[in-house]
Amino acid sequence: MRPDLAELLADAHVVSLPMRVRFRGITAREALVLRGPEGWTEFSPFVEYDDAEASAWLDAAIDFGWTAHEPALDAVPVNATVPAVDPEQVAELLARYLGCTTAKVKVAEPGTTVDDDVARVAEVRRVMGPDADVRVDANGLWSVDEATTALERLAVFDLQYAEQPVASVEELASLRSRIDGLGVRIAADESVRKAADPLAVARAGAADVLVVKAQPLGGVSAAARIVAEAGLPCVVSSALDTSVGLGMGAFLAARSMAPGFAAGLGTAAMFRGDVTAEPLLPVGGRIAVRRVEVDRALLERHAASPERTSWWLDRVRRVHELLPA
C-alpha cells in the first residue's frame, strides 16, 4: 500500500544544496527529503521534468522509505566526476575523490569544442595515470558524425566507455556499428532512464553497458528488475542526489552492478553542503552501503526559500495524484 499524502509529507523538508562548480547548468541542487517507516528517502526530479516523468521519482522515494531493503555489500566502488571545466581545474577536482581510480568526464558541453574535450580528458589521464579507468559522458548532445569524430580523437586515452554519446536508440546503434574496431564501448543512460521502454536499447543491441539511476527508474526494486531483464552489465549512477538519494543508489549498486565497474555515486563531493553530518563521500575509492541519517540542523541551514518549498510541496501533491492507489 502506498502512503497517503499526509503520511508522505508528515516529515518532509525542501533543501537547496550549494555546489562547488556549475553542473547541468545549476549551482545549487534542490531536493525534498522525507522520512518513512524504514528511514529517510528522497524525491528530487530535476525542476524541468513534468509531473508524469516525476512520478517514477516519487515511486522511488516511497520504495526506499517504506520498504526494508537489505544491503548486499558493505561498500561499492565509485568514480570521480569531472564537469566541463578547464584542464587547470582537473587536479583540484580529482583530489576530492579519495582513492577513486575511475573518472567520468563530461564532454560535448554547449559552448565548448572537441578540442576542449580532448584537453580535459588528456589532463584527467595525466593526473590519474595509465592504470585508471576513464569514461566520458556526452548526455546525448553529439550527432552520429560528431560522435564518430570526437571518439576517434578520444580513443587514444583508452576510454572505458562513452556514455550516451548520441540521443536516440537508433543513433546509438548506428554509432556503435560505425566505430566498431575503435575499442570504445557504448553506454546508454538517457535512452534507459528517460525512455518509455527502458529495455528497448538492450533489445536493439545499441549499447554494451547500461547506466541506471534509482530515482528515475522507480526505485531500487524496479531498477533491479530492469537490469535483470536487460541482460547487460550495468553501472549505477547518481541523479545529483543528496546523500540520502546516494544511499538509495548504493543499495541498488550493491544488488545489481557489474563487477569491475565503479558506480557514479561519489557526487556528494560536488556539494558544499549536505543534509547529513556523515555524507556518503568516497573513502578509499568506495562509499558505504547504508541508509543516511539526516541532521535537522543541516536541514535548517540549507532550507530552500518559502517560495521554493511551496513549489516542491505542490509538486508532490500533484504527482501523488498520478500514482495508482
Residue with cell 547506466: 211
Contacts by 197-205 with C-beta closer than 8 Å and gap 24+?
Answer: 198/226, 198/230, 199/226, 199/229, 199/230, 200/169, 201/169, 201/172, 202/229, 202/230, 202/231, 202/232, 204/169, 204/170, 204/172, 204/173, 205/173, 205/176
pLDDT(258) > 90: no
Which amino acid, residue 98? L
CB distance 79 to 262 below 8 Å: yes
pLDDT(325) > 80: no
Residue with cell 530535476: 46
Please tell me the predicted confidence (pLDDT) of residue 1. 75
Please tell me the predicted confidence (pLDDT) of residue 294. 98
Task: Report the distance separating Cα 260 and Cα 138, nearest Å.
Answer: 22
Q: Which residues are catalytic?
A: 106, 213
Task: Report the distance separating Cα 134 and Cα 59, nearest Å.
Answer: 33
Q: Which fold has domain 75-288?
A: TIM Barrel (3.20.20)
pLDDT band per the 50, 70, 90 thresholds, residue 104: very high
Please tell me the predicted confidence (pLDDT) of residue 316. 98
Annotated binding-site residue numbers? 137, 163, 189
Domain layout of the chain by residue ranges: 5-68+296-322, 75-288
SS3 (DSSP) at 82: strand
pTM of this prediction?
Answer: 0.95
CATH class of 5-68+296-322: alpha beta
Instruction: State mean pLDDT over 202-231.
Output: 97
The CB density around residue 72, as the number of other CB atoms within 10 Å, is 14
Instruction: Choose the weakest-confidence range: 124-128, 153-157, 195-199, 281-285.
Output: 195-199
Annotated binding-site residue numbers for Mg(2+)? 137, 163, 189
pLDDT band per the 50, 70, 90 thresholds, residue 24: confident
Pairing of strands 102-106, 80-82: parallel
**What is the average pLDDT value for the chain, to the nearest integer?**
97
Please tell me the predicted confidence (pLDDT) of residue 23. 85
